[in-house]
């Protein structure tokens, strides 16, 4: 989250009242993430997140917002976008497409144990199954086509060793997509960005955590479920300092996922390739955001070197069946 487009208190108050969400009481810009303008707002009815979309347009947004509404109505703990009197969930504010969603309870866990990883794995599997009958289609806009377009743009900014790795990994990922096993992978709507800061938890009196929400669906698209799993494994189930696999967390995540939806044989075979794909995708996006930044009133950029390390670890030490099965 970030603030690129300023919204005054009075502008936000009028906007929220037009959606019958109550009288604005508090408003604060959000500093996490880098894609959209976000504000935490509280009215006399509830707490919400107000988002103005800086890159996504009104043709793309219905997919994300309707997907969230679909998942919420199927019992998945995700934000439910507010509709106007006509049932529209995409609105306009200060010349930008906008949306308002309920603010989820709980907080992110940035140092998760295996128990937290298991909660994410099981919930992700349920989300995949819940999305099977979602009738809108939009590709993952940060998938292979975007990688092919972006690598040439970021190459001038990286040293020769990293440039060589980008070239070789991109060639490898283009090859993977030609395989019959890849074509047979099950697909559907995926989150595609389910990092630690996009999940909320609450703990009971005994300290036992419960997952209370998944949010920030604005990279979602129809892609392989395996890619979604790989993105999660690359964030939840690694050593953040080294980028290496955390075996206990990986096993907890995968066992919980497969309790809900067992992997198919081709998914098991291609999981090492997909973890590499997930690392490449986020290395590229962080290189892009670092070297080709946009102005923002509040902005926290992410270090691309982290996913450079993760990709190297995924190449040197690929996951095997023993890493994902007891």
Cα–Cα distance for residue pair 220/81, rounded to 1 Å: 15
pLDDT at 301: 66
Q: Calculate the CA 172 to chain-centre distance.
A: 24
| E strand or H helix at 92 | strand 91-93
Q: 177: number of CA atoms within 13 Å, CB side? A: 14
Cα–Cα distance for residue pair 145/116, rounded to 1 Å: 33
Give the single-character DSSP code of 238: B
Residues 6+ apart with CB under 8 A from 325: 251, 254, 255
| C-beta separation of 34 from 300 below 8 A | yes
Give the single-character DSSP code of 160: H
CATH of domain 114-324: 3.90.1200.10
pLDDT at 299: 53
Copy the structure tokens of residue 9: 């208190």
pLDDT at 326: 61
E strands, 96-229, in order: 96-102, 187-190, 199-203, 209-214, 221-224
Cα–Cα distance for residue pair 19/90, rounded to 1 Å: 11
Q: Calculate the CA 313 to chain-centre distance.
A: 21
| Residue of 179, 175, 295, 195 whose CA lies nearest to 237 | 195
Task: Count other Cβ atoms within 10 Å, centred on residue 279.
Answer: 27
For residue 143, which phi and psi values (nearest 5 degrees)? -95, -155
The CATH H-level (homologous superfamily) assignment of domain 9-102 is Phosphorylase Kinase; domain 1 (3.30.200.20)
Residue with tokens 């991109």: 170
**Same fold flag, 9-102 and 114-324:** no
Q: Mean pLDDT in each 10-residue stretch from start to end of the chain (326 residues)?
A: 82 97 95 78 97 90 97 97 96 96 96 98 98 96 97 97 98 98 98 97 95 96 98 97 95 97 97 98 96 63 92 95 75
pLDDT at 300: 59
What ranges do the domains of the chain cover?
Answer: 9-102, 114-324
The CA-based angle 180-224-109, given to 5 degrees, is 145
Copy the structure tokens of residue 171: 């060639």
Give CA separation, 196 vs 13, 49, 118, in Å.
31, 18, 13
Task: Count other Cβ atoms within 10 Å, centred on residue 65.
Answer: 24
Copy the structure tokens of residue 205: 């009196």
CA-CA-CA-CA torsion sign (237, 250, 190, 310)? positive
pLDDT at 55: 86
| Residue of 314, 147, 113, 321 whose CA lies nearest to 231 | 314
**Beta bridge pairs of residue 40:** 28, 49
pLDDT at 50: 96
Give DSSP secondary structure letters for 26-71: EEEE--S-SSSEEEEEEESS-EEEEEE-SS--TTTHHHHHHHHHHH
Cα–Cα distance for residue pair 101/51, rounded to 1 Å: 8
């Amino acid at each position: 989250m970030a603030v690129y487009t300023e919204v005054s208190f009075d502008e936000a108050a009028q906007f929220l009242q037009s959606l019958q969400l109550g009288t604005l009481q508090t408003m604060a810009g959000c500093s996490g993430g880098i894609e959209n303008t976000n504000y935490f707002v509280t009215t006399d009815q509830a707490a919400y997140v107000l988002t103005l979309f800086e890159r996504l347009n009104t043709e793309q947004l219905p997919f994300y917002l309707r997907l969230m509404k679909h998942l919420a109505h199927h019992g998945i703990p995700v934000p439910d976008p507010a509709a106007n009197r006509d049932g529209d969930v995409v609105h306009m504010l200060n010349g930008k497409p906008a949306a308002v969603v309920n603010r989820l309870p709980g907080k992110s866990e940035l140092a998760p144990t295996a128990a937290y990883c298991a909660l994410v794995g099981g919930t992700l599997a349920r989300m995949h199954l819940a999305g099977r009958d979602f009738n809108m289609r939009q590709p993952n806009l940060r998938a292979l086509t975007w990688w092919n377009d972006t690598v040439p743009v970021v190459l001038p900014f990286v040293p020769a060793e990293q440039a060589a790795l980008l070239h070789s990994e991109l060639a490898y990922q283009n090859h993977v997509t030609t395989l019959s096993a890849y074509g047979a992978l099950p697909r559907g709507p995926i989150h595609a960005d389910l990092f630690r800061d996009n999940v909320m938890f609450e703990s009971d009196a005994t300290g036992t955590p419960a997952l209370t929400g998944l949010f920030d669906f604005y990279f979602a698209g129809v892609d392989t479920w395996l890619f979604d799993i790989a993105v999660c494994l690359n964030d939840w189930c690694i050593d953040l300092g080294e980028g290496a696999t955390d075996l206990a967390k990986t096993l907890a995540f995968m066992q919980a996922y497969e309790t809900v939806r067992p992997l198919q044989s081709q998914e098991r075979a291609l999981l090492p390739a997909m973890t590499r794909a997930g690392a490449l995708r986020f290395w590229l996006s962080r290189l892009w955001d670092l070297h080709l930044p946009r102005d923002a009133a509040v902005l926290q950029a992410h270090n691309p070197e982290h996913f450079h390390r993760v990709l190297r670890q995924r190449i040197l030490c690929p996951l095997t069946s023993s890493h994902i099965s007891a």
